[in-house]
Amino acid sequence: MEHASQQQSPEVVPPVFVPWQSLQKETLIKLAQEAILREGFEEGSQEEMQRQIQVVLKGIERGKYLVAFDPSTESVGLIEKTQAPKGA
């Protein structure tokens, strides 16, 4: 018999990794911008932002960053491959 005070913890659903090649360039640019801003990019010149975007895009192409869909939040973002579950 279950007690009312016992709560089931929500099931942790692992992210789904999306091949970056299947996304449009504009989508990858938006994901790169979001990742840069999330990491604390100080508002600077447009040139600096463009340079940072190119660095992240190259990282995506080289496999440093993965595109991950989080089913629990229904959001998409970039994560470093070193932070991804093994086998990703």
- Between strands 75-80 and 65-70, the pairing is antiparallel
Is the separation of the CB atoms in 35 and 78 below 8 Å? yes
Range of the domain at 53: 16-82
Q: Which residue has 């660095």 as its token pair?
A: 55
Establish if 88 belongs to a structural domain.
Answer: no
Establish if 10 belongs to a structural domain.
Answer: no
What's residue 9's pLDDT? 56
Residues 42-65 have a mean pLDDT of: 91
Query: How many domains does the chain contain in total?
Result: 1
Establish if 72 belongs to a structural domain.
Answer: yes
Rounded Cα distance, 28 and 56, in Å:
9
- pLDDT range class, residue 7, cuts 50, 70, 90: low
Establish if 24 belongs to a structural domain.
Answer: yes
Is the separation of the CB atoms in 29 and 20 below 8 Å? no
CA atoms within 13 A on the CB side of 37: 8
What's residue 1's pLDDT? 47
What's residue 12's pLDDT? 78
Establish if 31 belongs to a structural domain.
Answer: yes
